[in-house]
Amino acid sequence: MERRDRFLPPYVSTRSTARLLTILLLVTAAVAGLSAGFEISQIQFLSSIGSYTEVDEDTRWAHTLIRNSLLASRLVLYGAIAVTFIIWLHRCRINVRAFGCRRFRYSRIWTIIGFFIPIINFLRPYQVVSEVWRASDPRAVETPVAWISMPVSKFVPAWWVTLIASALLEMLVAALVTHSGVTVGDLFTARSIGVLVGITSASSAVLAYLVVSGIEESQEEKWAIISRAEAEADAADPYRIDLSIEPEPPAITARSIWKAHTTDS
């Protein structure tokens, strides 16, 4: 690919941000797994009680405390992941322009606002991540638009589907617990859905890790290919001037001294 456009933004490695994001995602997957296990233990407990028996206050309090603690941990992790992911994605979107890629459907601003606009945020972040995945493909280096024909990994749609499913199920559980009664049957339904929340949350975190690591590796490989090609092109250019080499000062001779003297006079 001919990459001589000096107006392109610089490539900046996102390795440190991706490393932090990876840690947060793996911790989230672990906490979500614990939440699913807790919900299963509650289902087993509720199965031993009559369907319409009132649950005593102490049992409800202990159950609520544990579940709310796990929920608060997940919410804190979700917030940290959201901020880190947006920062990482925005930098990755700038990097694909540094590669010389063009004709994007979504500008880099969508890496930020796409997550916050209602209804649009059900699809736009997935579309932006898909473009970044394809534009980061190290095989797309022949032309600035070669990335358009690149495929998207199955991890990307799988991640987005599980993320949306987890969020919707979480809201459903909150509605059931808030507006339903306190019978065993009501809690059993909420806990059953809670198991699905934990499973989908853990799956989404693992799939997000695969998406992040995939884009990260592709961008580093693609930049290495482009940098190597540019270095080879510069070395083969007969008119290239190496600005890093200082020119040698002219030799001082009697003739040069006489010429400088006559010029000054």
DSSP state string for the chain = -----TTSPPP---HHHHHHHHHHHHHHHHHHHHHHHHHHHHHHHHHTS-TTPBPPHHHHHHHHHHHHHHHHHHHHHHHHHHHHHHHHHHHHHHHHHHTT----SS-TTHHHHTTTSTTGGGTHHHHHHHHHHHHT-TT--SSTTGGGG----THHHHHHHHHHHHHHHHHHHHHHHHHS-SBHHHHHHHHHHHHHHHHHHHHHHHHHHHHHHHHHHHHHHHHHHHHHHHHHHHHH-TT---TTSPPPPPPP-HHHHHHHHHHH-
Residues 6-28 have pLDDT tens digits of 578 899 999 999 999 999 999 99
6 occurs within a structural domain: no
Residues 112-157 have pLDDT tens digits of 999 999 999 999 999 999 999 999 999 998 899 999 999 999 999 9
187 occurs within a structural domain: yes
Residues 108 and 92: their CA atoms lie apart, in Å, by: 9
pLDDT at 263 over 90: no
10 occurs within a structural domain: no
pLDDT at 201 over 60: yes
Residues 254 and 263: their CA atoms lie apart, in Å, by: 14
Residues 26-82 have pLDDT tens digits of 999 999 999 888 888 878 777 766 544 555 666 666 667 877 788 889 889 999 999
Find the length of the chain: 265
Nearest Cα neighbor of 223 from 59, 61, 80, 98 is 98
9 occurs within a structural domain: no
| pTM given for the model | 0.80
Average confidence (pLDDT) over 99-124:
94
Domain count, the chain: 1
- Give the domain range for residue 232: 15-264
174 occurs within a structural domain: yes
The one-letter code for the residue type at 21 is L
